[in-house]
Amino acid sequence: MIVFQKPHALADLPMHYCPGCTHGIIHRLVAEVMDELGIEGKTVGIAPVGCSVMAYDYFNCDMIEAAHGRAPAVATGVKRANPENVVFTYQGDGDLASIGMAETVHAAARNENITVIFVNNAIYGMTGGQMAPTSLPGQVTQTSPYGRDVKHCGYPIRVCELLSELEGPEYLERVTVNNVKNVKNAKKAIKKAFQNQIDGKGFSLVEVVSSCPTNWGMTPKQALEWIDEKMLPYYPLGVYKDRSASQEAEK
């Protein structure tokens, strides 16, 4: 009896991610959801610029590599071209919340019927650990070597909270994957974000608070603990918008 196997939607390839990086977990959750919903054959995924730039190799569904920050615009094109496709973007914090903020906000405002997986690890990983739009106050990075000085470069952006002010989006939830319980919750959220699209409900974004042991300069275990200690107080987990659920509750 098989009790555990690789999801079909996940390619059988060695990944380039660093040891202890949580991208592997999040990739797997997305692939498991594709399997469980039986949508791999009609899904088009969009990889960003950043650590997950080569995600197009790791998922067995059709894939597009987009310009930095532009995945929600590309996804809009794909979804408008073939509305029967399930379209998701998989973006990091620099991609989604800095260079691509306009595309993110407007796709949400249009309630574009796509699914966005937003991996927030508070740093630019691929380029070697620079300050991100979500780097915490005081956080030491290559471009904030004395710690992020909020007087000089402002405050980190809470994406779910920001987008929750818009009428447009259907569903916004922040999860993390630093322990088994949280991984299970993350999967539930990701599944809902895909199911919403299948049901035609609209823009669904799951922010996954994630780790970057390499660029945080920590062991994988320390990095997971740092999520609890530092990240979650600034980025509280929870559902920031769920229009259908709120409408149900009002009835």
Partner 1 sequence: MADKVLMKGNEAIAEAAIRAGCRHYFGYPITPQTEIAAYMAKRMPKIGGVFLQAESEIAAINMVYGVAAAGLRVMTSSSSPGISLKSEGLSYLAGADLPSLVVNVQRGGPGLGGIQPSQSDYFQATKGGGHGDFRMIVLAPSSVQEMAELTVKGFALADTYRMTAMILADGTMGQMMEPVALDDLPVTPMPEKPWAVTGTGMKRPHNVVNSLFLSPEKLEETNFERYDRYRVIEEKETMYEEYRMEDAEICIAAFGIAARVSKNAIDEARAMGIKVGMIRPITLWPFPKAPFRRAAEQVKEVISVELSMGQMIEDVRLATECRVPVTLCNRVGGMIPSPEQVLDAILKAAKNGGKEA
Note whether 166 binds partner 1 by CB under 8 A: no
Question: What does the per-residue mask of binding to partner 1 show for 2-41, with x meaning CB under 8 A?
Answer: --------------------------------------xx
Cβ-proximal residues to 198 (8 Å cutoff; 6+ apart), any chain: 37, 39, 86
Note whether 91 binds partner 1 by CB under 8 A: no
Per-position DSSP letters for 93-118, written without gaps between them: HHIIIIITHHHHHHHHHTT-S-EEEE
Stretch that binds partner 1, among 79-87, 124-132, 200-208, 220-228 (CB under 8 A): 79-87
Nearest residue (CB) to partner 1, 49 versus 160: 49
CB of 247 to partner 1, least distance (A): 26
CB of 17 to partner 1, least distance (A): 15
Report yes or no: 123 and 130 within 8 Å, Cβ to Cβ: yes
Q: What is the 3-state secondary structure (H, E, C) of 22-85?
A: CHHHHHHHHHHHHHHHCCHHHEEEEECCCHHHHHHHHECCEEEECCCCCHHHHHHHHHHHCCCC
Which residue in the set 93, 103, 173, 242 belongs to the binding site for partner 1 (CB under 8 A)? 103
CB of 55 to partner 1, least distance (A): 10
Note whether 117 binds partner 1 by CB under 8 A: no
Note whether 73 binds partner 1 by CB under 8 A: yes
Cβ-proximal residues to 157 (8 Å cutoff; 6+ apart), any chain: 97, 101, 133, 134
Q: Name the site residues for partner 1 (rule: CB under 8 A).
A: 40-44, 53-54, 56-57, 59-67, 70, 73-82, 85, 102-103, 105-106
